[in-house]
Amino acid sequence: MAAAMVLLPGENIPTDKLPKPKKGKLTLGPGLQHTPPSTISATTAGSLQVDHRKAALWLEHAGGRYQPSVGDLVIAQIHHSSVETFSCALTPHTSFAILGQLAFEGVSKKTRPQLKAGDVVYARVSKASKWEDVEIECFNSATGKAEGMGQLKGGMVFDVRPAFARRLMMGTDKEGVSKGGVVVLEEVGGKVKFEVAVGRNGKVWVDSGSVRETVMIGHLLRGADEGGWDVEGQRKAVKKALRDV
């Protein structure tokens, strides 16, 4: 893939860019809309990404606004609790997401989770539609296990852009190269022990033993996000930061 094509909202994708699907079905990802019979247009501004193997296309945009979609892991802050549910905020100034009080591992009607306003949980979006409240859960409803979700105690929550959070969660491909181009956490993890949880809504929770180390990790995350450091730049910054601590 050469330089990715940048599209503005409303532009149609030229047919020569479309991948040839084997089964005749093309998967459209975020940022694209299909108007039958055969026009695909962009709904946001972004660069077009094509995966020929899976016959999928989507737009990558560096937006600052997070929109919940099913299956996303998010860091939610409890705002208030009611009889059966907690109302949580995923992003400021938006409607609350509903977290059922029983949507945790190992709770029953008699033993409810002890969460207060201001507590932070790691959850997965179970329902997200334009016309209903977003619903999140802190356990895998199929298996009943927490799988790392639940209340996050201590540590610090840093704000990053949702696109950066997505890159952080992309993982590594077969050669061990980070797909998202973000290596700060792995590099720092080589020297410093810490726990981290990344929320797709633009929040990263970090808990290291000491305040100084957590501040350093937060500083590195912010630099990689806003400073736009590439992989080499990130490695250099991590080395420098580790020397100072």
Partner 1 sequence: MPHATRPSTNESAFVLSALRENLRLDSRALDQYRPISLKFSSDPDVYGQTDVRMGKTRVICNVSCEVITPYSDRKFDGVFNINCELSPLIGAGVEIGRPDQAELLLSRLLEKSIRRSNALDTESLCIIAGQKCFHVRADLHVLDHDGSILDACCLALVAALQHFRRPDYEVHGEQVTVFDVREREPVKLTLQHQPFCVTTSYYDAGTIMVQDATLLEEQCREGEIVVSMNRHGEVCQIAKYGGVPVDALSVLSVVKQSWEKVKMMDSVVREALSKDERERDKGGRMKAELSAENERVMERPVG
- Is 13 or 217 the residue whose CB approaches partner 1 more closely? 217
Q: How far is the CB of 97 from partner 1 (least distance, A)?
A: 11
In the complex with partner 1, the residue whose CB is nearer, 89 or 102, is 89
Q: What are phi and psi of 125, to 5 degrees?
A: -75, 125
CA distance 106 to 86: 17
Binding partner 1 (rule: CB under 8 A), the pick from 45, 50, 56, 156 is 156
150 sits near partner 1 (criterion: CB under 8 A)? no
The pattern of x and - marking residues 217 through 236 that bind partner 1 according to CB under 8 A reads -xx-----------------
Tell me how far apart the alpha carbons of residues 119 and 99 are, in angstroms, rounded to a whole number.
Answer: 13
Going by C-alpha positions, the residue among 120, 129, 128 that lies closest to residue 153 is 120
**Window 110-129: residues binding partner 1 (CB under 8 A):** 116, 118-120
SS (H, E, C) 87-150: EEECCCCCCCEEEECCCCCCCCCCCCCCCCCCCEEEEEEEECCCCCCCEEECCCCCCCCCCCCE
Please report whether residue 211 would count as binding partner 1 according to CB under 8 A: yes
Please give the residue ranges that form the binding site for partner 1 (CB under 8 A): 77, 79, 89, 92-96, 116, 118-120, 152-157, 205, 211-212, 214-215, 218-219
